[in-house]
Amino acid sequence: MLKTLLLSGALALSMTTAALAQTGLIGSYKVNGTNTDGSVYDEGSLTISQEPSGAYLVKWDGGDYIGIGQVSGDIFAVASVVDQRNSIMIMKINPDGSVKGQWWRRSDAGTKGTEVWTKK
């Protein structure tokens, strides 16, 4: 019985943590990172909202770039089209609310870009 209660409590805690990570994503962020050629960019902006389907809508720089994302645990995966090239991002949701990860475009020469999103 005690094992069942402990397991139930741990499961509820992990589900609560995942739910907090997901709902905590919604909002506005400051963005900085590196392009796939190594050049640095900063002072960008990003907003995340949730669609009726449960997917997340990601808009960079006031909607100049748009992506769609999904959360799995503490990972936020985003797909987008940037400058007519497919792009994917694998981002880690950090306990402090920031999001950090790498992105790739199909046509780039194998180098990964990076981004860090800090909540405003």
Residue identified by tokens 């981002």 is 91
pLDDT of 16 above 90: no
- Which domains are present in the chain? 2-119 (2.40.128.120)
pLDDT attached to residue 22: 54
Answer whether 103's CB lies under 8 Å from 89's CB.
Answer: yes
For 29-59, the pLDDT digits (tens) are 999 999 988 899 998 999 999 999 999 999 9
Q: Which residue would you say has higher pLDDT here, 92 or 10?
A: 92
Q: Which residue would you say has higher pLDDT here, 111 or 49?
A: 49
Answer whether 80's CB lies under 8 Å from 103's CB.
Answer: no
pTM value is: 0.78
Q: Which residue would you say has higher pLDDT here, 18 or 57?
A: 57
